Amino acid sequence: MASPKRFIAGAVCPRCAEMDKIRMHTTDDDQQVRECVACGFTDDTPVAIGTGDNMAAALGLGLRRGDVAISLGTSGTVYAITSGSTHDATGAVAGFADATGAFLPLVCTLNATKATDSIRRLLGVDLAEFNDLALKAAPGSEGMVLVPYFDGERTPNRPLASAALTGMRSDVSREALALAAVEGVVCGLLEGLDALIDLGVEPTGRYFLIGGGSRSTAFQRAAADLIGDEIQVPANDQAVASGACVQAAALISGQSFAEIADRWELGAGLRVTPNDVDRLGIRSRYKAMAEQSLSFEELESPLRVE
C-alpha cells in the first residue's frame, strides 16, 4: 500500500552527502523508495563505491600487474599492482587493497618536492630556473649526496631525522646542488621500490611518473636515468579524478576496468628514455649516506627527548 513521502532524520544522501534531504515512501507494489530533494538521487541511481586517492590514481593510469607508479607531490609514493596481499614486518610497505579486487603495496616518503623546494629557496630561484640548473649539472651532482629528510622521514621511520648534504667542495656549483636535491628525492623513492621488490613485486611493465613534480624535466631525466628504464609521464595530470571517472564508466557501461583503460588510452603521454649514467654508483652513495645520517639522528636532533 502506498504511503506519503516522509523525510528520514539524519539520513545522508549517497550522491551529494547532504543530510536531512532524503525522503522515503512506499509504492503501490510495496516497494520502499528513497529520493533526495537536493540533488534528485533515487534508489534507481547507480552509485560507484569510491576508493582512496592512490587506488583511484592506479585506475586513472590503467595500472596493470608489472607496472610501477611513482608519484611526486609534497610527499612521494611508489606502488604497484599485485594479485596477492603483501606483509612487511618492517612497516616500510603498506599492504593496501586496490579498487579492482587486487592489491596495491605502497611505500610513502615524507620528503619529495618539499625537499627540492627547500633547496630552490636557498638558491633564490623560481621553479623554472631551478629545473634549468639541475639539467645543466652532470649526473652524480659532482659527488654531492643530499639525503632529504628535512622534517623527519616516514620511510624509513625516522621522525627525528634531518637532511644531510655530503660531498661538497669549495668549487661547488649551484647546478650540482640543484641536481643533488632532485637525485636525493628520486633515490629515496627507488629505495621504496626496492622494498616492494623484496616483497615479490616484479617491475616488468611500465614505469609511470605522476604528481606535480612529474612536470619537471629534471625529475623526468633523473627518474629515467636512475631507474635505467623508460618512464611515461601521462598527458593527463589528474590521475585520481580519471580513476573516479573509470569507476563511474565501468558501473554504467558494464565494461571492465581494463577495457575502459584501453579505450581511453589511460597513461599515454611523454616517454623519457634513460641515458647511460653511473646509476649504481649514484644509488649506492645515496644508500650509504642515508644509513650514515640515520646513525647520528639521536645525537643531532634538537627534538630528542631525554
Q: Active-site positions?
A: 53
Q: Sheet holding 103-109: strands in order across? A: 94-97, 103-109, 76-80, 68-72, 207-210, 231-234, 269-272
CA 181 – CA 202 distance, rounded (Å) = 28
Cell numbers given for 214: 612529474
| H helix runs in 202-256, sequence order | 217-227, 239-253
CB neighbour list of residue 67: distance below 8 Å, 6 or more residues apart: 61, 80, 81, 203, 205, 206, 207, 208
Tell the burial category of 215 from Cβ atoms under 10 Å away from its Cβ (0-12, 13-18, 19+). Answer: middle
64 C-beta neighbours (distance < 10 Å), count: 16
Distance linking the first and last C-alpha atoms of the chain: 73
